[in-house]
Every structure is written in C-alpha cells, then in structure tokens.
Amino acid sequence: MSISVTPPKSRRALPPLMRLTEAAADRLRAMYAKGRQGMLLRIGVKTKGCSGMSYDMSWVEAPGPGDEVVTDQDVTVLVDRKASLFLIGTVMDYEARELEAGFTFTNPNEKGRCGCGESFHV
C-alpha cells in the first residue's frame, strides 16, 4: 500500500501592514527631530463618524504590549494591534495644500467613506 503525501499549498504573502510615502516619512522625521523627540506615533482606528470608523493618531513614549512596530523608509510608527486587520496594506501619506495639511491614508480595506471623508467602513 502506498501513501501519497501532497505538500501544503503555499500561502500568498500578506502585504505589509503599513507603508509610508516619502512625504509622510519626511514629515515624521521632522516631527521626531523637533517637538516630538523621543516619542513615537501610534496609529489605530476608533469608532467615530457616520461610516463607523476613523483613523486615530497619538504620541507615546514607547511601544505598548498591543503595538505592532512598523519601520519603513527608516522611520518607525506603531500600529495598535486591534487595528491591524483594518489597516493591512494601508499607505500613509502627507499632503500639504493651500489651506490645509495633514496625514492621509489610502486603505485597500475601505469599502466606503462618509460624505465629509471623516470616517470609513470596511
């Protein structure tokens, strides 16, 4: 009696948890070097707005037990582990326009956004 063993199918690699554009990395380097020296940016999601979730950013002194450490373009940010599933593959950018400037997120998991763009759902 012969037994054949089928090797397991290889799993497709997950995209990086989060990537930073050059503009976002440059802005974070400047912030880390000046007023936020010794701090790290933590990114998460919280319940808010008409679509259900919004991005949440806060400054912390060190990674917590529930943080994923993401380093891209020699810049480190933290991602709240509870938000990981919502953020896989997200690209963080920094945009400066005539009347506003700030970080933006391109998230492939988003299924829609509210009209004002303040919140999203997956």
Amino acid at 100: E
Does residue 109 have a pLDDT over 90?
no
CA dihedral sign of residues 63, 69, 70, 73: positive
Q: Which residue has the higher pLDDT, 27 or 11?
A: 27
Highest mean pLDDT among 4-8, 47-51, 63-67, 111-115: 63-67
Question: How far apart are alpha carbons 2 and 32 in whole angstroms?
Answer: 63
Domains of the chain by residue range: 18-112
Give the residues across from 75 on adjacent strands. 72
Closest-CA residue to 25 (of 65, 72, 58, 66): 72
Give the model's confidence band at 28: pLDDT under 50 very low, under 70 low, under 90 confident, else very high.
very high
| pTM (predicted TM-score) | 0.78
Question: Taking all residues of the chain, what is their mean pLDDT, rounded to a whole number?
Answer: 84
Q: What is the pLDDT of residues 38-94, one digit of tens each?
A: 899 999 988 766 657 788 899 999 999 989 999 999 999 999 999 898 889 999 999
Give the model's confidence band at 35: pLDDT under 50 very low, under 70 low, under 90 confident, else very high.
confident
CATH topology of domain 18-112: Hypothetical Protein Aq_1857; Chain: A; (2.60.300)
Q: How high is the pLDDT of residue 79?
A: 95
